Amino acid sequence: MIVGKKAANRYYSGPPSDHFDGTLFFNPDGKPPGRFTDLLKWQFGGGRAKWPAAWPSPHPSARPIGRVGGNSLRLTMVGHASLLIQASGLNILTDPVWSDRASPFAFAGPKRVNEPGIAFADLPPIDVVLVSHNHYDHLDLATLKRLKQGHDPLVVTPVGNDAIIRAAVSGMRIAAHDWGERLDPGNGATIHVEPAHHWSARGARDRRMALWAGFVIETASGNIYFAGDTGFHGGVNYRLMAEKHGGFRLAILPIGAYEPRWFMAPQHQNPEEAVQGMKLCNAAHAAGCHWGTFQLTDEPLEEPAQKLAAALAAEDVAEERFRAMRPGEVWDVPAN
């Protein structure tokens, strides 16, 4: 390989756009992930809180009913960014991870401190899986293989990630889309693939070769926003969601993996920013995810929930409108 020449994209090829330079994806007017030297500075800089080896959820393992109809919207927390959305007769999983570790290795890497909030055998029929990007705590190939065998769902994901999934899961039904595109999964629903401020990589040599995204799900029960992994980015994407979709019955927003701020702020919002995001996108209710299951960053285990409560009080937002969800927790989200 010629020194200095940009490596070809192994996952995706397409014309340049406002977030793709012909080889790599990027955040428009945003920030790229930190450099390797920044990673080392963080990893060896101290300040990492010690998590317990186990932190069981106060909620029992959920056993979801087969379908939810009418105007109902039910949300069940599995753990981290994995949630079951049930609305308008559809069962949708977000970033499903049932593996013990969020890692390319079975013997090393972040290990879950609580069991999945739904036993895999107790899942209802899964129609759609949303995969926001390819980091190991969001794209778990072992779980996708199990879902293919037992449910054969449609996987909706940003472009580039489909190549990773197809190479590992034979016959999986995949719809790969760019930002701003949409598809109709059935039951009168529409799924929009929307911008997020993040990045992607499965290893050291494929950074930003697959796109990252959030999703908006339009249903007869109301609009649902799953933001995926995202930095706050001045609220740009939250304002865009409100302008484009009008508002949401429910927003599923990350509240964890945010410390140290000097390193994490561009890619992971904190609880205070999540509350601002809820307000900016005009969400009636919000569910906090991306915390309390895998230790990825420096903050103490329970801090995201504590800071969320403080931020809600500071903004005069009722606590029941924004839950920091724990595995097994089931929420019948009120109608707007």
Return the pLDDT at 237.
98
37 or 320: whose pLDDT is higher?
Answer: 320
CA 29, CA 31: separation in Å to the nearest integer?
7
Is 4's pLDDT higher than 70? Answer: no
What does the radius of gyration of the chain's CA atoms come to, in whole angstroms? Answer: 19
CA distance readout (Å), 137 to 18, 57, 168, 228, 277: 27, 19, 17, 11, 22
The per-residue pLDDT for range 84-115, each reduced to its tens digit, is 999 999 999 999 999 999 999 989 999 999 99
The mean pLDDT value for 189-193 works out to 98
Pairing of strands 73-79, 330-332: antiparallel
* CA angle, residues 6, 135, 253, in degrees to nearest 5: 125
Structure letter (DSSP) for residue 87: E
Return the pLDDT at 6.
60
CA 154, CA 130: separation in Å to the nearest integer?
9
Is 1's pLDDT higher than 50? Answer: no
pLDDT level of residue 2 (50, 70, 90 thresholds): very low
pLDDT above 70 covers what percent of the chain?
98
The per-residue pLDDT for range 133-155, each reduced to its tens digit, is 999 999 999 999 999 999 999 99
Structure letter (DSSP) for residue 120: G
Q: Where are the domains of the chain?
A: 60-332
| Contact indicator for 135, 213 with CB cutoff of 8 Å | no
Q: Which CATH number does the domain 60-332 belong to among 3.30.70.890, 3.40.50.300, 3.40.50.1360, 3.60.15.10?
A: 3.60.15.10
CA 210, CA 158: separation in Å to the nearest integer?
7
pTM: 0.96
Is 75's pLDDT higher than 90? Answer: yes
Is 199's pLDDT higher than 70? Answer: yes
* CA angle, residues 317, 322, 327, in degrees to nearest 5: 160
CA 314, CA 306: separation in Å to the nearest integer?
13
Pairing of strands 182-186, 173-177: unpaired
The mean pLDDT value for 296-305 works out to 97
pLDDT level of residue 3 (50, 70, 90 thresholds): very low
Token pair, residue 278, equals: 């809820």
CA 269, CA 111: separation in Å to the nearest integer?
22
The per-residue pLDDT for range 44-71, each reduced to its tens digit, is 777 899 999 999 999 999 999 999 999 9
Token pair, residue 172, equals: 């999986």
List, edge to edge, every strand of the sheet that includes 222-226.
Answer: 182-186, 189-194, 214-219, 222-226, 250-254, 286-289, 322-324
